[in-house]
Amino acid sequence: MNGKIEIDGRVIEYVLVRKKIKNINIRVSSDGTVRASAPERSTVRAVEAVIAAHAERILQAVDAALAKLPEPGRVVVYGTPREVVAVRGRRGESRFDADGRIIIALPDPDDAKAVSAELRRFLEIECERTLRFLVDKLMPLFAARGAAYPVISFNHAKGRWGSCSPESGRIRFSYAVLTLPPECIGLTVAHELTHLLVCDHSAAFYRELAKIVPDHRQLAAVTKNYSPASFFSSVL
């Protein structure tokens, strides 16, 4: 159920889910939504009492989450906030224009749900195209050191940019990688490919990575300014 409570002039809207748990828990999602989980017999009054007791911290978390979200009608792609413009056209004609805007073409550009779905489809195709290109570009460097070409797949992981299973030769990338600046996308691909040579994050791993991306530490610091969860909250 959804509810709201006013505290010191600010309204906190929340989503309440009852579960088989012992305590009332409050968390703030990456999109700024306040989510409460409570024992099945808990009353709304009890839940709101917990929210009120932690109101200051909850509001700080909400403000911090909202500050990370792009402006309405904008999404961060290749490290740059880009305006999303819906126009009348045929499906499959969505594109970047000369100004870097994302043009979403649909028979009915006023259908918000359809625009969202087409934006997601367009960005997923762009992500797969970009990352497969980079894998193809970098793989000869790893193949020369004994690595076999990996199986590449994509997912909607919100907690990590990518993962590698050296034993199966499979690398999975989150579609959210597309939010990163190009040089950080390159680092992400090189990082996962390096795991084909060294499975852990030992000193040996970073020595191998440095052979491909000498400034990997600086780029890793830049990457920390971005969040997979924030990307998905802006396009899903």
Residues 42-78 pLDDT 10s: 999 999 999 999 999 999 888 877 666 555 478 999 9
CB atoms within 10 A of CB 188: 22
Residues 21 and 95 in one domain: no
Q: Are residues 19 and 41 in the same domain?
A: yes
- Tell me the angle at which helices 203-212 and 182-194 cross, rounded to the nearest 10 degrees: 130
Compute the distance between CA of residue 76 and CA of residue 50 in angstroms, rounded to an integer.
35
Alpha carbons 60 and 64: distance in angstroms, whole number = 6
Residues 157 and 195 in one domain: yes
My answer on whether 106 and 205 are in the same domain is yes
Same-domain pairing of 138 and 35: no
Question: What's the CA gap between 189 and 28, in Å, rounded?
Answer: 31
Cβ atoms < 10 Å from Cβ of 207: 11
Range of the domain at 206: 75-235
State whether 79 and 177 are in the same domain. yes
Domain edge (last residue) among 68, 91, 124? 68
Tens digits of pLDDT across the chain (236 residues) = 788 899 888 889 899 999 999 999 999 876 678 999 999 999 999 999 999 999 999 998 888 776 665 554 789 999 999 999 999 998 889 999 999 999 999 999 988 888 888 999 999 999 999 999 999 999 999 999 999 999 999 999 999 999 999 999 999 999 999 999 999 999 999 999 999 999 999 999 999 999 999 999 999 999 998 988 878 766 65
Same domain? 54 vs 11: yes
pLDDT at 86: 92
**CB of 47 closer than 8 Å to CB of 36:** yes
Q: How far apart are CA 69 and CA 136, in angstroms?
A: 32
Residues 55 and 170 in one domain: no
How many residues would you count in the chain? 236
**What is the number of structural domains in the chain?**
2
Do 99 and 189 fall into the same domain? yes
